[in-house]
Amino acid sequence: MTLSSRAPYCCLLLAFGLAVADAQSAPVSAAAGTNAQTSEEQAAIQWMRQNAIPLETVEAGHGFADLQPLGQMVGNARIVELGEATHGTREFFQLKHRIIEYLAAQKGFTIFSIEGNMPEAYRLNEYVLHGVGDPKELLGGMGFWTWDTQEVLDMILWMRDFNQSGKGHIEFTGFDMQSPTVSLEAVRHFVQQYDPAWSPTLDQDWKDVAELQHMGIAASSFGVATATFPVAAAAGHRIRFSGYIKTENITYGYAGLWWRVDGDVGKELAFDNMQGRGAKGTTSWTPYAISLDVPADARAIKFGVVHPGNGTAWFDSLAVEVDGVPYSDPSSFDLDFESPALRGFEAGGQGGSGQRFSTTGYSIAIDKSVAHTGAQSLRSQYTVPPVNADAVDPECKSVVDYLTAHRAALIAAGATASDADWAIQHATMVRQFAHLQNIENTGDMNTASDFRDESMAENIRWIADHNPGAKMIVWAHNGHVSWTYSHGLSVGGLLHSFFGPQIMNFGFAFDKGSFRALDLAHRPDVHPFTVAAAPEGTFDAALAATGIPIFALDLRTLPKDGPVATWFAQPHRTRDIGGGYSDATAPSRWSSDSGPSAFDVILFVNTTTAARPN
């Protein structure tokens, strides 16, 4: 099962009940020999070798002597964007920390902003500025596993020390809007305090946001009933699990059957949940089946029915065959759901790897009025009231408009100008979240990606506008900070239109090594992956061919003509991994946004390791 889920840089797909996968995936193919290099590429590599600025280390706290040329690259820029080729590389995070330390201590940068939820990030600012709260808990409370690492925590601890040292000042902020929880409560509290008579109208205008919010966290919640199948009866055999499903108003998601086999230590050996093949819409009783081989070394088997989506699904007349022979064990489970209550099945339940299956938002119960055979069936009903998609944005906009129009009156009622501005911004982020979720629910991920980047760029501009003159560091994925992202709009391109020459960016690249990512083949596991050297002809392979382990390269100094200019003017692939990865998706984890049209400066680390989770 896959469901749309909030996650940094692209909407990542999560699934339920999947075992912990192996620590590493198979590496991609190694680079071909250098004899495949063209004369233009050889000239480009030689130019990079001559113009690269070697860096001594990625670790902060080692002085700034080798970073001085980076200061010249930054020049008088007010906003510096720091990208990353993956959301889970230790050396990228460490090098960013080191550059941030340099920019704060030597270049007067005072605002740091990360690709994380804006309200939760500002809670961390209370620690950075005043020592309020537990930094590790606050970092985890941002809700982004990508940043909940030792490397980012080390940077936050440095920020606190830096502010206490008297040597400078830096603040911690964020600019994403993937959860409205904190903003909803902030606006409600503000209105209750300064305009309580308007509170009922606010609640009415936001009546549909709760449904969208639930849909936004649906990846960890679904209708599911789980039973345990005896390993001895199935190990080494082929099983066929079948049943009848009836549906009503499933406009997103589906209803299906599922079967999972675990080996030692919860390692998944076999799994099928009918993703992409389940029942949708409104249908009469229809037969469905899944078949798979159960390995002889199976240690645990779970199976049942699943309903990730809205509407209602009924399940009945389930049956299991082992090597074509019907299997029956009425003392263990009732596959026809004719018992007074679920027998052998648990609503929710425990997976073979110890994961708990949540049914928040769903009612799972015996239905005595609907059946395929007998008198009863099992019903899974999505219980959150349906949302009026067309009304959501106008409702959210009315809140923003009201607070904006009544700003002076709210200040006259006792609110500070900052409080009023924050209330408007919180309401704006609720609207951004609701509109993004609405787009995602249509399945139009390209439009959703564009809208998210637009919203993040507007939030960064809000931070900059409310800190006039302050220099700002933006931390996000390469795709967001690039000037022209191949998937559509980018934060970097939009900020460039806002701030012009006041902004510059750094893209990050690597040749080989490890990184953490969500395993797209074994969701929802996050673990290290390892890739081999970048294939010949890629931008990353050319960077590696310089032979310099860590370096910066200012692409703005490229020659205007000749073989070097010709090579850089052509599209060359660079790794574009983000937060999700698998062997199957590896060929698509590349982008042609690698040259001077995308980045001002490239920071290259030849060999990487995985970020270390807290």
pLDDT in tens, 482-514: 998 766 789 999 999 999 999 999 999 999 999
Q: Minimal CA–CA distance to 9: which of 602, 595, 589?
A: 589
Question: What pLDDT was estimated at residue 409?
Answer: 98
Q: How far is CA 482 from CA 29, 75, 76, 453, in A?
A: 27, 19, 19, 11
Round to whole Å and give the CA distance between 15 and 30.
31
Those residues with Cβ within 8 angstroms of residue 586's Cβ, 6 or more apart along the chain or in another chain: 25, 28, 531
Listing DSSP states for 234-287 in one string gives HTTSEEEEEEEEEEEEEEEEEEEEEEEEE-GGG-EEEEE--TTTSEEEEEEEEE
**β 346-347/223-228 pair status:** antiparallel
297, two tokens: 């070394």
**What's the pLDDT tens digit per position in 397-411?**
999 999 999 999 999
Please write the tens of the pLDDT for every residue from 334-353. Answer: 999 999 999 999 998 655 55
Just give the CATH number of 218-382.
2.60.120
Six-digit token pair at 133? Answer: 């709260």
Token pair in block for residue 264: 């030692």
User: Is the pLDDT reported for residue 431 higher than 90?
Assistant: yes
Q: How far is Cα 155 from Cα 94, in angstroms, rounded to an integer?
A: 8
Q: Do residues 258 and 305 touch, judged by C-beta distance below 8 A?
A: yes
Residue 20's pLDDT band, with cuts at 50, 70 and 90, is: very low
537 pLDDT above the threshold of 90 = yes
Decide if 12 contacts 580 (C-beta within 8 A): yes
The predicted structure's pLDDT at residue 31: 36
Interatomic CA distance for residues 380 and 105, integer angstroms: 58
pLDDT at 211: 66
pLDDT of the residue at 28: 35
Asked if 388 and 262 count as a contact pair (C-beta separation under 8 A), the reply is: no
Q: What is the pLDDT of residue 440?
A: 78
Separation CA 569–CA 597 (nearest Å): 8
Residues contacting residue 102 through CB under 8 Å, at least 6 positions apart: 64, 67, 70, 71
What pLDDT does residue 6 have? Answer: 37
Does the pLDDT value for residue 283 go beyond 50? yes
- Peptide bond between residue 524 and the one before it cis (omega within 30 degrees of 0): yes
Cα 450 to its chain centre, rounded Å, is: 15
pLDDT tens-digit map of 36-45: 678 999 999 9
The pLDDT of 377-388, averaged and rounded, is 85
Q: Is the pLDDT of residue 326 over 50?
A: yes
Higher pLDDT, 178 or 370: 370
pLDDT-based confidence at residue 202 (cuts at 50, 70, 90): very high
Q: Which of 3.40.1660.10, 3.30.499.10, 3.40.109.10, 1.10.10.10 would CATH assign to domain 37-178+446-523+536-608?
A: 3.40.1660.10
Distance CA 88, CA 50 (A): 30
What pLDDT score was predicted for residue 22? 27
Domain ranges for the chain: 37-178+446-523+536-608, 218-382
Q: Length of the chain in residues, anyone?
A: 614
Q: What is the share, in percent, of the chain residues with pLDDT greater than 70?
A: 89
Query: Which tens digits make up the pLDDT trace of 151-195?
Result: 999 999 999 999 999 999 999 999 999 889 999 999 999 999 999
Rg (CA), the chain: 27
Averaged confidence pLDDT in the chain: 89
Give the separation between CA 372 and CA 286, rounded to whole angstroms: 9
Confidence band of 266 (pLDDT split at 50, 70, 90): low
Q: pTM here?
A: 0.77
- pLDDT tens, 212-254? 765 554 445 689 999 999 999 999 999 999 999 999 999 878 9
203: left (phi over 0), alpha (psi -120 to 50) or beta: alpha
User: For residue 354, what pLDDT band results from cuts at 50, 70 and 90?
Assistant: low
Average pLDDT over residues 142-151: 94
Kindly tell me if the per-residue pLDDT of 62 is higher than 70: yes
Q: Got the DSSP string for 326-354?
A: EE--TTT--TT--SSS-SS-EES-B-TTS
Q: What's the average model confidence in pLDDT over 6-30?
A: 32
Mean pLDDT, rounded, for 48-70:
97
pLDDT at residue 23 greater than cutoff 60: no
Q: Is the Cβ–Cβ distance between 255 and 309 less than 8 Å? A: yes
Please give the pLDDT value at position 357.
65
pLDDT at position 252? 79
The contacts of residue 96 (CB under 8 Å, 6+ apart) are 82, 84, 155, 475
Gap between the Cα atoms of 433 and 395, Å rounded: 13
> Helices (DSSP H) in 75-222: which residue ranges?
90-106, 118-130, 135-140, 150-165, 181-194, 199-205, 209-216
- Of residues 102 and 206, more confidence is placed in 102
How does pLDDT run across 95-125, given as a tens digit for each residue?
999 999 999 999 999 999 999 999 999 999 9
Per-residue pLDDT band for 15 (boundaries 50, 70, 90) equals very low
- pLDDT of residue 447 exceeding 50, the answer is yes
